[in-house]
């Protein structure tokens, strides 16, 4: 029988090697955790930078006019009050809000509907006509809005739509469709062609394919288009400024601009109106942020 013995020096070297290896792993783990904290640190800094204007706007809207210049801006108001919101709501803010909601909802609905049908035809019906149509949509992205305001004004006047809410809807739809078609075409092309062909072989019509296949699978892209176009239409200022005149058809961006004359130095009241007008956009972004990110990344990462 052989007896294996380990020398004390060898055992000591083995233990010291194990300790060194363990210490090296611990140092590597600490550095790895440190590198993980760096992006989180910069993310927190960016969150503070992005969120502070909203927090400042909200806190300033709660300050009385007498405390606006004396309070510390980044601290809560010393004498909070809702008088600024009451002042804004009593000056036809509800009418302006309703006008903005009507224009935005109808414009975004038309943009999404037209863009979805056009994107499906461009992606799945491959012929010379659809290629020409797609090129025209892409050409629309190169036309600046400011360069077309005079022809748009002339056309709206000839259609007897000047100083109406529909004068804001038609140009918003026209300028919103090109980018929406580009986003939807990029996403629909990523849907497997085999699914489309199998439904065609089963006798499904294009409308059935669009409703049962394309629409469910294109939900992230649709949410992206809805959020983006809602922001564009909701914040539009040039069209309301040029194509409307009466206070009864005034929308929120133009109304906020007019508040500067109504509340000459009452900055907290103006900030209260701005905060109320920003709430729908903030809520829309918060509710659809996940699908918005996936819709923006789809197709462009390949």
pLDDT digit string (tens) for 86-125? 888 888 888 999 999 999 999 999 999 999 998 888 888 7
Name the phi and psi angles at 203, rounded to 5: 90, 10
Residue corresponding to tokens 């590198």: 35
Query: What residues in the chain have per-residue pLDDT under 70?
Result: 1-34, 259-265, 289-302
Rounded to whole angstroms, how far apart are CA atoms 229 and 169?
12
CB atoms within 10 A of CB 255: 23
Residue 147 DSSP one-character state: G
Q: Specify whether the CB–CB gap between 92 and 258 falls below 8 A.
A: no
User: SS3 letters for 51-107?
Assistant: HHHHHHHHHHHCCCHHHCCCCCCCCCCCCCCCHHHHHHHCCCHHHHHHHHHHHHHHH
Question: How many CB atoms are located within 10 Å of the residue 46 CB?
Answer: 10
Local structure of 125: helix, strand or coil: coil
Q: Which of 278, 280, 225 is nearest to 253 (CA)?
A: 278
- Rounded-to-integer distance, Cα 271 and Cα 249, Å: 22
pLDDT confidence of residue 142: 84
Torsion of the alpha carbons at 50, 54, 57 and 62, rounded to the nearest 10: -140
Q: Report the pLDDT value the prediction gives residue 300, as an integer from 0 to 100.
A: 47
Instruction: Look up the pTM and report it.
Output: 0.78
Q: Which two tokens stand for residue 59?
A: 């806190």
* CA dihedral (262, 103, 223, 183) positive or negative: negative
């Amino acid at each position: 029988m052989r007896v294996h013995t380990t020398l004390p020096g060898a055992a000591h070297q083995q233990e010291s090697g194990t300790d060194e290896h363990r210490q090296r792993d611990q140092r590597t783990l600490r550095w790895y955790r440190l590198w993980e904290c760096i992006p989180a640190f910069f993310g927190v800094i960016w969150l503070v930078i992005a969120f502070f204007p909203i927090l400042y706007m909200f806190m300033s809207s709660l300050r009385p006019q007498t405390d606006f210049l004396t309070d510390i801006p980044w601290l809560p108001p010393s004498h909070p009050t809702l008088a600024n919101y009451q002042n804004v709501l009593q000056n036809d803010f509800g009418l302006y809000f309703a006008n903005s909601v009507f224009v935005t909802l109808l414009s975004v609905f038309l943009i999404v509907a037209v863009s979805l049908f056009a994107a499906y035809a461009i992606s799945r019906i491959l012929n010379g006509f659809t290629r020409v149509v797609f090129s025209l949509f892409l050409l629309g992205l190169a036309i600046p809005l400011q360069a077309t305001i005079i022809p748009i004004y002339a056309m709206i006047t000839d259609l007897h739509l000047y100083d109406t809410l529909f004068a804001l809807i038609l140009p918003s739809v026209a300028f919103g469709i090109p980018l929406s078609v580009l986003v939807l075409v990029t996403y629909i092309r990523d849907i497997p062609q085999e699914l489309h062909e199998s439904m065609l072989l089963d006798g499904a019509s294009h409308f059935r394919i669009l409703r049962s296949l394309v629409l469910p699978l294109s939900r992230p892209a649709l949410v992206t288009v809805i959020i983006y176009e809602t922001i564009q239409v909701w914040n539009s200022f040039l069209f309301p400024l040029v194509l409307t005149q009466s206070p009864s058809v005034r929308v929120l961006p133009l109304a906020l601009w007019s508040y500067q004359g109504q509340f000459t130095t009452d900055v907290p009241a103006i900030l209260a109106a701005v905060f109320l007008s920003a709430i729908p956009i903030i809520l829309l972004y918060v509710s659809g942020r996940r699908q918005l990110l996936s819709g923006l990344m789809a197709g462009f990462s390949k």
